Amino acid sequence: MSKDPYSNLYEVTEVHDLRDVIKKRVNEFPGNPVFLIKEKKGGDYIPVSTEKYDHDIDSLGTYFMNTVQKGARIAIFSETRYEWYVTYLATTNGTGCIVPLDKELPVEDIENMLERAEVDILVFSKSKKDIVDKVYGKVPTVKYYICMDETTDERYLYFHDCMKQGEEKLSAGDKIFTEATIDPEEMTILLFTSGTTAKSKAVMLCQRNICKNLMSMFSMLYIDRNEVWLSVLPLHHTYECTCGFLGQVYRGTTVAICEGLRYISQNLQEAKPTAILMVPIMLELFYKKIMKQVNSDPKTAAKLQKGIKLANTLHLSNKMRKKLFKQIHDVFGGRMRLIILGGAPVNPEVLKFFQDIGFLCVQGYGLTECAPILALNRDKFFKNEAAGLPLPGCEVKILNPDSDGIGEFISKGDNNFLGYYKDPENTAAALDAEGYYHTGDLGYIDKDGFCIITGRKKNVIIAKNGKNVFPEEIEYLLSLSPYVAESVVSGVEDEVKNDIVITATIFPDLEEVKAKLGTEEDPSEEQIEEILKQVVADTNERLENYKKIKKTVLRMTEFEKNTSKKIKRY
């Protein structure tokens, strides 16, 4: 790659805080819908104007600031919905600090996090009322419980009544919220990392972190105001929150709220989005579904391969490819042009397939502590095997590289978090004296400046020869087999042989196994193990001796995952 990968960055609007984000949108994109929402399951999408959203933020913010002191902590415990978006900016834009909670957490974790974050107000949806009922009154700091839906329970305030009260004060000239000072350097976002309550850390972010992230990110990847995004990932994750919500408010685009994972296909047809954020497992499921249909008919499979070869030989534009591969594009609603992936490594072959058929498909790399994007592939410059280029203004380097140039990624920039809340020990371990954040991810930076991730520092297996074995590398190679749905590679110490045994625990794709066996009946474990034996042998052919899988464990259930769809390693 001879060209400067940072050449011709896109022009972006400068913002200093999140109030800037919404107010500048109102001025720059008047009348453009900010959300597409549904008032009931299966109903039609209804547009919400930027002006209404801005007014609702100011109304609820005015209510908040007439109810609690400035600097209050407000938690959201809900699925993705309009009230979530309103609560977020009604808190950050003058009131205090927002605390998004994972909607999948049980009672004990919610209670613990409310206590640790010293929350003043809990805003929740009716779907979470059973859990809130059990938490009610147990956290002394929580003085107000606001339900997004009407309820007969007198303990809870009704969200829209609160917003109406704020609107009345706003109309009467109350400027307590709209003119409240915002310090871009102050903690206004408190995010709990995934994991058990005992292990989760509370990440402190300020508005400078978010705003710098937005400006850098969108200077690298062009997003048009006419885009329609389908929001499918949980909003409490900073990936979806920054890139799929705040980023879209910032760029003037429209966000359609997905009704849930089981409704993705239906909502794609209804909203006809042009862009989407995904985690790799989602795209891989689409890929497997498409390829299963294609491969069921040899003529269709041959036609697809011929079409891809023709498109690449003639260097067809994505617009032409969309016409050539119309049937596949129709699966995504017919207008999808951009798919952004993050949260886990992506199979480059899957990325290449979607690029070949006319999608702009790129991956990025981020962490909650980086607000979250640290590196991103551009639309003009990208490598499918790379996590991306460091964001402009973000210095990324490799700490203590080994003989292969592999070491820990550390970063320094305005997107670096403030630290872990009331946790000086972990903060000191993560942020060094020079201000570099130690990511815990291992890899190298190639000659063109792209970040190549090889694995997590805490997952590395040290072989008896002292060499590092990255489980993620082996898991990726296993994933190339259609018979492997999921795998986890670990190092098990064999005290008798004084050796580290590379062990692969594999959850098979039973449908593919059945297809290979030519049966509709559930295969026996012996039959599955025989197929996996060959998969492991093929994988070992591609590995150096000290990395080879020496033991295979069959697992007949999916691995436990967190809400970002990452496998929990123990």
Which pLDDT score is estimated for 3? 79
At 541-566, the pLDDT tens digits run 999 999 999 999 999 999 988 766 77
DSSP of 284-298, one letter per residue? HHHHHHHHHHHHTSH
The average pLDDT across 250-255 equals 97
Q: Band of the pLDDT at 94, cuts 50, 70, 90?
A: very high
At 194-243, the pLDDT tens digits run 654 456 899 999 999 999 999 999 999 999 899 999 999 999 999 999 99
The average pLDDT across 6-12 equals 94
Which pLDDT score is estimated for 261? 87
The average pLDDT across 45-55 equals 97
Check: CB of residue 455 under 8 Å from CB of residue 470: yes
Which pLDDT score is estimated for 171? 97
Distances (CA, A) of 127 to 81, 132, 147, 148, 549: 12, 10, 10, 10, 45
Enclosing H/E stretch for 409: strand 407-412
Give percent of the chain with pLDDT exceeding 70: 98
Structure token pair of residue 185: 């350097």
The average pLDDT across 133-140 equals 98
Which pLDDT score is estimated for 497? 74
What's the CATH superfamily of 460-554?
Answer: ANL, C-terminal domain (3.30.300.30)
Q: Band of the pLDDT at 2, cuts 50, 70, 90?
A: low
Which pLDDT score is estimated for 1? 56
Q: Band of the pLDDT at 493, cuts 50, 70, 90?
A: confident
Domain boundaries, the chain: 50-182, 460-554
Which pLDDT score is estimated for 570? 67
Check: CB of residue 186 under 8 Å from CB of residue 163: no
pLDDT at 516 over 50: yes
Which pLDDT score is estimated for 199? 67
Which pLDDT score is estimated for 139? 98
Torsion of CA 61, 66, 72, 75, to 10 degrees: -50
Domain 50-182, CATH among 3.40.50.300, 3.40.50.980, 3.40.50.620, 3.40.640.10: 3.40.50.980
Structure token pair of residue 202: 């509370």
Which pLDDT score is estimated for 373? 97
Which pLDDT score is estimated for 197? 45
At 142-184, the pLDDT tens digits run 999 999 999 999 999 999 999 999 999 999 999 999 999 999 9
Torsion of CA 105, 117, 182, 233, to 10 degrees: -10
The average pLDDT across 488-501 equals 85
Contacts of 565 (CB under 8 A, 6+ apart): 279, 281, 282, 343, 344
Which pLDDT score is estimated for 315? 96
At 439-488, the pLDDT tens digits run 999 999 999 999 999 998 888 898 877 788 999 999 989 998 999 999 99
At 524-541, the pLDDT tens digits run 999 999 999 999 999 999
- C-alpha gyration radius of the chain: 25
d(CA 192, CA 349): 33
Three-class DSSP category at 152:
coil
Which pLDDT score is estimated for 288? 87
Amino acid at 395: E
Check: CB of residue 252 under 8 Å from CB of residue 223: no
Which pLDDT score is estimated for 564? 66
Taking residue 192's Cβ as centre, other Cβ atoms within 10 Å add up to 23
Which pLDDT score is estimated for 196? 44
Structure token pair of residue 69: 């002191």
Which pLDDT score is estimated for 87? 98
d(CA 213, CA 391): 8
At 357-374, the pLDDT tens digits run 999 999 999 999 999 999
